Structure 1
Amino acid sequence: MMNHSLHYLTLAALADRIADNDLLTRIAGTPLWNQAQVKITSDWQPPPEGQLAVASRHGCALSWLFQELKTQTFLTELLHPEYVYRYLVKAVWRYQFDSLKDRPSPGIPAGDRLHWEQELNLDSPSISDSLRENPPSRLLAETLQEDDTPIGLLQAVLAAADRLFLTEFVDLFVYGSLMCGEINHYLLENAEYIADDAIADAELFNLGPYPMFVPGTGTLYGECYHIPLTIIPNLDRLEDHPHFYQRLWMQCLSGQTRLVYQGFASHIQGCPQIMSGSWRDRQ
Structure 2
Amino acid sequence: MNHPLFRVFVYGTLLTGESNHHVAKPYIKQMKQGKVRGWLYNVGAYPALVLDSEAEEIIGEWFSVTEEGLKRMDWLEGYEENRIHNDYERVWVKDVSGDIEGFVYVYSIEKVEGLEKIECNSWREFKGK
Match of 2:63 in 1: 225
Give 1:194 shift: 2.4
CA distance in 2, matches of 1:272, 1:281: 15
Q: How many residues align?
A: 118
Gaps of 5+ in 2: 81-85
Give 1:238 shift: 1.0
Aligned residues of 1:274 and 1:281 also touching (Cα < 8 A) = no
Give 1:266 shift: 2.1
Match of 1:253 in 2: 96
Q: Name which of 67, 77, 82 aligns with 1:239.
A: 77
Q: Which has the higher contact order (CA 8 A, sep 6+)?
A: 2
CA distance in 1, matches of 2:8, 2:77: 14
Match of 1:281 in 2: 125
Does residue 196 in structure 1 map to residue 33 in structure 2?
Answer: yes
Q: Name which of 38, 41, 46 aligns with 1:210.
A: 46
CA distance in 2, matches of 1:281, 1:270: 21
1:62-101 to 2 correspondences below 5 Å = none
Give % identity. Answer: 27
Larger fraction in strand: 2
Gaps of 5+ in 1: 1-122, 124-163
CA RMSD of aligned residues (A): 1.7
Give 1:252 shift: 0.5
**Counterpart residue identity of residue 114, structure 2:** G
Match of 1:282, SS? helix
Q: TM-score, normalised by structure 1?
A: 0.40
